[in-house]
Chains A and B, each alone.
Chain A
């Protein structure tokens, strides 16, 4: 019983409510370069949101992203979550996502986790369908900005709970 309350107290000391950062925002950059025939995807997510989404605890350090002690399950949990709320369909076909690398930027409440994916796209890209309602299970007002760079052209869209999917044709 004592151990149980000790754990609760420790969790309490570590708890920070969901007001930690004021912006309910994530950033996604999708880049296609015809010369390299590669699609790269960068997701920039607030780390507190990632921890809340995966572990129901914004301040948890259990998954120790990008640290030497990052457990093997960290990528699996992260990818499982991303696959529930995010996809890319190139020419109508859903791309299978594999995390290429990750990094952290910023500090404190503004620490961001960057997740990188890179995929081969040997056929000319004619359409791109994007779903991105990441963190809308946590926040009704979550907005996800998506920048799309196709060779020298750039476009931005905003996806959220109401408008989760958008298709672009080239």
Chain B
């Protein structure tokens, strides 16, 4: 009996492995690289591709910057414009209006609101000027309907709740202007919540009393609660306080890259039970540890040793020296983060939280951009790597936008419920 059991077990093992082998061989043994890329590009074109975080509005306040023109990222550093969104088949994007944290008093709050509204208005003007190619999106289904019209969908978010100040009514003001997510906090603590990177540490122990009212108001209006940049306690508080699923618009997995901006496995599991979504970001330092570059370090140190005293250098000599240092940097480049690192994080999040809780938020124009996904025109390389690792169309559709849209719909449904409950 025991021997029969062992035989059945061995047969099952080989059967399972041969099935797995068949799936792999279809993808990588019979399919050439060209065929794989062609298949990936077809999927990329077919699914809704949605990026939840771009700081492009800071470009829109650059005098003379034109979103309808294609810019060279290696010349200007710009990562997103409408022609490149089209090239990369990026269907939808959240442009984040960002205001740097400043003084937390009435004057500071009032200025922050004014700057935030100016930035949102610059997005709206850009959409209006380019209405043949893009459209304002305020509801989940808008991304799909604009895609059918052949237009890119532009959603609006706010990165840093600072412009809300201490006035809860500002949340509705921003909602009425089209804002559909708010990142509670940025690199320093504000009146709403603690930052993961404030050197002073925790001030509220997570989300403040006022911040919890903001979360409730966001739930009521149907604005997604974004916990990226928040401390770990902000995440746990948001999970507890929010009646709707929450999102992290640009964060990665801490188990893969140990950075406090990334999320622990425990947080990823909670995100799954909450029904929320973590959107992978393309910030090199959040994707991988910077590898040592001994050759570069040695060359730079040796060159520094030969340097004349800075006090005795003319401006021309400094310019020349800068050029020499740049040449050394070019000669010994540090290996960049790549799309493989991105999909390593996606693989991990799926392993921990499941396929329904991961998405993409590149953080272009805010530091995002890696080898192979340097700007909006190259986002299809993420899909190619996903296909290479065996992800199918249904899974890729979830990663590239389906999951975020599901959360967005849920946030709106809960908003409707809250409104109808309060009017009853």
Contact = CB atoms under 8 A, between A and B. Distances in A.
Given A147-B115, A154-B115, A11 B304 contact: yes
26 contacts: A9-B301, A11-B305, A12-B297, A12-B298, A12-B301, A19-B284, A19-B334, A29-B102, A56-B304, A56-B307, A77-B310, A107-B199, A108-B199, A110-B197, A140-B76, A140-B77, A141-B77, A145-B58, A152-B110, A154-B115, A154-B118, A156-B118, A157-B62, A158-B62, A159-B62, A160-B76
A24 B284 CA distance: 13
A142 B61 contact: no
Interface stretch (B225-233, B319-327, B339-347, B393-401): B319-327
Interface in B347-395: 366-367
B300 interface: yes
Nearest to B366: A23
A162 interface: yes
Contact of B367 (A22, A140, A153): A22
Nearest to B117: A154
B304 A158 contact: no
Contacts of A105: 199
Contacts of A158: 58-59, 61-62, 65
Contacts of B118: 154-156
Q: What are the 7 closest A-B residue pairs judged by CB atoms, nearest first?
A: A141-B77, A22-B367, A107-B199, A158-B62, A154-B114, A11-B301, A154-B111
Interface string B104-146: 0000001100110011000000000000000000000000000
Interface string A5-38: 0011101100101110011100101000000000
Interface string A54-69: 1111000000000000
A62 B63 CA distance: 37
Contacts of B315: 84
A15 B300 contact: yes
Given A22-B367, A56-B325, A154-B115, A145 B100 contact: yes
A19 B61 contact: no
Contacts of B22: none
B18 interface: no
Contacts of A108: 199
A34 B298 CA distance: 54
Given A7-B305, A11-B304, A12-B297, A23 B61 contact: no
Interface in A145-170: 145, 147, 149, 152-163, 166
A54 B61 contact: no
Contact of A142 (B77, B110, B283, B285): B77
A20 to B, nearest CB: 9
Contacts, number: 109
B293 interface: yes
B34 interface: no
Main DSSP-derived SS at the A contact region: mixed
A80 to B, nearest CB: 8
B290 interface: yes
A97 B200 CA distance: 31
A59 to B, nearest CB: 11
A143 interface: yes
Report, as a range, how many residues of chain B touch the other chain.
35 or more
Contacts of B302: 8
A137 interface: yes
Nearest to A146: B61
Interface of A: 4, 7-9, 11-12, 15, 17-19, 22-24, 27, 29, 54-57, 73, 77, 84, 105-108, 110, 137-143, 145, 147, 149, 152-163, 166
Given A4-B305, A140-B75, A54 B310 contact: yes
Main DSSP-derived SS at the B contact region: helix
B74 A140 contact: yes
B18 to A, nearest CB: 46
A153 B119 CA distance: 14
Given A142-B77, A154-B111, A18 B100 contact: no
A17 B77 contact: no
Contacts of A84: 315
Given A15-B297, A17-B296, A141-B77, A110 B187 contact: yes
A23 B367 contact: yes
B291 to A, nearest CB: 10
Nearest to A81: B318
A22 B334 contact: no
A155 B111 CA distance: 9
Contacts of A55: 310
B296 A157 contact: no
A12 B284 CA distance: 23
A14 to B, nearest CB: 9
A160 B115 contact: no
A108 B273 CA distance: 35
A157 B300 contact: no
B115 A156 contact: yes
